[in-house]
Amino acid sequence: MMNSKSLVHIENVSKFYGDLKALDNVSLDIHEGETVVIIGPSGSGKSTLLRSINKLETIDAGKVIIDGVDIYDEATDINKVREEVGMVFQSFNVFPHKTVMENLNLAQTVVRKRTAEEATGISKKLLEKVGIFEKADEYPGKLSGGQQQRVAIARALAMTPKIMLFDEPTSALDPEMIGEVLDVMTKLAKEGMTMVVVTHEMGFAREVADRIIFMDHGAVVEQGTPDEFFDHTENDRAKLFLSQIL
């Protein structure tokens, strides 16, 4: 599902680490309701691009506009913007000394200023949605990797973000747990969440993405629908990548 409103506008963004060009003049729009999957070889700049959407990186050129707000403008309150952008990493960044419910409630009460009762109501719905309602009072250490990652997703969703960013959310999981996390992400995408997903899960990319972005050496070198990309790309670097992973 997608309409034409651009929620993320990335324009001519470049970023260097010393002499290394991690992002090379990247331009990209993510529309409301769209699921964009970013793929590419290791070191191609996928994480750097994702992190620049949340201003977790500085950039050397270009701009990033989130829902109309120029996030690299010094006058912008980046914390306000980050409230609208949920992020899920490879390593499940949940708080180990808080229960699952406390993990979900924390930012809701502190940042969103919801009452404990309101927050708990929202958290329960989200735990149900990600299939771990019965784990509400457990500590994350008692959960499997797949369950912890679903807590991380639910916690991000608890902020009711406008956009969700996922950086290889299943890469640290045992194979038998990958499916349960991808299922949650698939459900979210179908519900119309705006999502940017870096992943090596090509089945997910093919099934769920509205658009595939292929990066190499810091640049977007190819993009298209899954069908265009997986079955009809003429780009040599994309073909090489696909021949190595499929």
- Contact of residue 82 among ligand ADP, Mg ion, none (CB under 5-8 Å per partner type): none
In this structure, are residues 153 and 130 in contact, taking their beta carbons and an 8 Å threshold? yes
Nearer to ligand ADP among residue 204 and residue 241 (C-beta): 241
Can you tell me the distance from the alpha carbon of 35 to that of 182, in angstroms, rounded to the nearest whole number? 13
Q: Which of 7, 8, 13, 22 binds ligand ADP (CB under 6 A)?
A: 22
Do 77 and 55 touch, CB atoms closer than 8 A? no
Instruction: Please choose, out of 42-50, 59-67, 92-100, 204-212, the segment that lies near ligand ADP by the rule CB under 6 A.
Output: 42-50
Q: How far is CA 211 from CA 4, 208, 236, in A?
A: 14, 9, 19
Which residues 6+ apart lie within 8 Å of 95 measured at CB? 102, 103, 106, 140
Secondary structure (DSSP) of 101-151: HHHHHHHHHHTS---HHHHHHHHHHHHHHTT-GGGTTS-GGGS-HHHHHHH
Residues 161-190, one symbol each (x = binds ligand ADP by CB under 6 A, - = not), give ------------------------------
Q: Would you call 214 exposed, middle or buried from its count of C-beta atoms within 10 A (0-12, 13-18, 19+)?
A: buried
Task: State the binding partner of 126 from Mg ion, ligand ADP, none, CB within 5 to 8 A by kind.
Answer: none
Do residues 229 and 223 touch, judged by C-beta distance below 8 A?
A: yes
For residues 46 and 150, which CB has a smaller minimum distance to ligand ADP in the complex? 46
For residue 131, the minimal CB distance to ligand ADP (Å) is 28
Of the pair 23, 132, the CB lying nearest ligand ADP is at 23
Which entry of Mg ion, ligand ADP, none binds 164, CB below 5 to 8 A by partner kind?
none
CA distance 71 to 131: 34
> Out of 28, 31, 32, 47, which residue is the one contacting Mg ion (CB under 5 A)?
47
Q: Binding partner of residue 22 among Mg ion, ligand ADP, none, CB under 5 to 8 Å per kind? A: ligand ADP
Assess 86 for contact with ligand ADP (CB under 6 A): no
Quick check: 199 binds Mg ion (CB under 5 A)? no
Contact positions vs ligand ADP (CB under 6 A):
17, 20, 22, 40, 42-48
